[in-house]
Amino acid sequence: MTQVALGVDIGGTNTKVALVNDGGDVAEMETFPTGRDQAALIASIRDAAGRCRSSASIRGAGVAVAGFINPARDQLSYNPNLDWLVGFPLRDAMADALGATVALEVDSNASCLGEYRFGAGRGSRRFLCLVAGTGLGVGMIIDGALVRFMGECIGDAGHVVVDANGPECPCGGRGCAEAMVSERTIVQNAHSGATLRHVIENARNGNARAVAELAAAGSALGIAMASLSQIFFPDRIALAGGLAEAEDLVIPAAEAEFRRTVNAEARVHVAVVKATLGWRATVIGAAAPLLL
Ligand SMILES: [Zn+2]
């Protein structure tokens, strides 16, 4: 019987459970609301996992969660949007429910790892991945290993300041990249639809304000990429997440601003690319440590 792994992505709004094979392909997938109850979430994941794995034999499950995790990597240690899950023994409760080994990971790390193993990061020695959607997560892989120094990731790198006179951020700072490129900000400023997907659609249909907002978000991302490059010296930078789906409306603006502001060496040598796995990156990356 073929052995595969489960990839789980616990987000602030929805949770995904997927069966991932050794080629990094998603064979089965279910999505449901995350809710706000620990036991109910575990039960929903267990039930979805049971349907996804069917008769397949699994090596274990990788669980990605939004926010910081503790050094033992067995629970969420910080996320204002999932405060009811903070301090809950998530890894062990999942292992009990699934009867399998469970690895817990920060969601932006999982996306970065998914792209590194199976997508836009393949072959990179120093891979920086920005995941822009509801918020802005950032992961960094050097010589095949995720960089961890705060919250088992690279801290809140999505809150690097890109405009000292920019808007206040929910984190308490001002002009953070996340405050400039989050779905909420883009939707508020674009006045053309209730979700990021709508704004992108309207931009594609020629709505000038939507086009301008997406380009502005791209520029802010480019400055964040330039600032982060001075710390991490990536050889490749990928943009992932829902905003990356705007592609030509965002990435050229990000790349232009990156090249305008970054140091001379990086200006010439660093590639800015679109992530290739789309929404699958997080569940694939969560499962990746369990894949051959
Ligand atoms: Zn912030």
Instruction: Say what percent of the chain tops pLDDT 70.
Output: 100
How many whole angstroms separate alpha carbon 129 and alpha carbon 111?
A: 8
Average pLDDT over residues 62-81: 96
Average pLDDT score over the chain: 96
Q: How far is the CA of 10 from the centre of ligand 1 (A)?
A: 22
**Cα–Cα distance, 252 to 218 (Å, whole number):** 8
**What separation in Å is there between the alpha carbon of 55 and the centre of ligand 1?**
45
pLDDT class for 1, splitting at 50, 70, 90? Answer: low
Confidence check: pLDDT of 55 > 90? no
**Are residues 91 and 84 in contact, defined by beta-carbon separation less than 8 angstroms?**
no
H helices present in 68-106, as ranges = 90-98
Question: What pLDDT does 80 receive?
Answer: 85
For residue 179, the CA-to-ligand 1 centroid distance in Å is: 6
Q: How far apart are CA 164 and CA 115, in angstroms?
A: 32
Contact 91, 69 (CB under 8 A): no
Question: What pLDDT shows up at residue 255?
Answer: 98
The Å distance, Cα 244 to ligand 1 centre, comes to 20
Distance 209 CA to ligand 1 centre (A): 24
Render pLDDT for 37-47 as a digit per residue (tens, 0 to 9).
999 999 999 99
Closest CA to 130 of 100, 108, 161, 152: 108
Ligand 1: centre distance to CA 172 (Å) = 6
Domains of the chain: 3-107+281-290 (3.30.420.40), 120-276 (3.30.420.40)
Rounded to the nearest whole angstrom, what is the distance from the C-alpha of residue 245 to the centroid of ligand 1? 23
CA distances from 161 to 15, 172, 183, 206, 224 (A): 30, 12, 18, 31, 7
**What pLDDT, on the 0 to 100 scale, is given for residue 196?**
97
In the reported structure, the alpha carbon of residue 174 is separated from the centroid of ligand 1 by a whole-number distance in angstroms of: 6
Q: Give the distance (Å) from ligand 1 centre to CA of residue 168.
A: 8
271-274/145-146 β-pairing? unpaired
Compute, in angstroms, the gap from residue 291 CA to the centroid of ligand 1.
35
**Ligand 1 mean position to 167 CA, how many Å?**
10
Q: Residue 116 Cα, ligand 1 centroid: separation in angstroms? A: 26
This prediction has a pTM of 0.97
Structure tokens at 22: 């050794």
pLDDT at 292: 87
